[in-house]
Structure 1
Amino acid sequence: MSGLVVDVAARTISGPVVPYGPVVTHQRRRWRFAPGSVRYGSPGDVALNVDHVHSRRVGRAQTLASVAGVLTAVFLVYRGDPGDRVLAEADTRVLAGLSPGTDLIRVGPDPDVPGVQLVRRAWLREVSLTAAPAFDVAGAR
Structure 2
Amino acid sequence: MLTTKEIMEIIPHRHPFLLVDTVTECEPGQRAVGYKCVTYDEPYFAGHFPGEPVMPGVLQIEACAQVGAVAILSLEKNKGKTAYFGAVNNARFKRKVVPGDKLKMECEIIKSKGPVGIGKVTASVDGETALTAELTFMIG
TM range (shorter): 0.3 to 0.5
Work out which structure has the larger RCO, using CA pairs closer than 8 Å and 6 or more positions apart in sequence: 1
Q: Specify which structure has the higher proportion of strand.
A: 1
Q: Specify which structure has the higher proportion of helix.
A: 2
What TM-score do the two structures reach when normalised by structure 1? 0.32
